[in-house]
């Protein structure tokens, strides 16, 4: 990877991927009769776990 771990991108695969709820942005929208309603803009956290293929010989630097 480009993070300096000594692993090439060709030797990696996606092991897991999932998302969790993130922070909610709250906005106000005008409503009838001078009231206001709350708008909840939902966000999410995307997590990806990568792993190295088994059986590949590791190269020493």
Q: Model confidence over 33-45: pLDDT tens digits?
A: 999 999 999 999 9
Tens of pLDDT, residues 6-49: 778 888 899 999 999 999 999 999 999 999 999 999 999 999 99
From CA 19, how far away is CA 28, in angstroms rounded? 27
* pTM of this structure: 0.55
Q: Say if CB 8 and CB 43 are below 8 A apart.
A: no
């Amino acid at each position: 990877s480009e993070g300096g771990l000594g692993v090439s991108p060709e030797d990696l695969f996606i092991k897991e991927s999932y998302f969790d709820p993130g922070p909610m942005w709250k906005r106000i929208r005008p409503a009838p009769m001078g009231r206001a309603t709350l708008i909840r803009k939902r966000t999410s956290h995307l997590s990806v776990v990568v792993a190295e293929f088994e059986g590949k010989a590791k190269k020493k630097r």
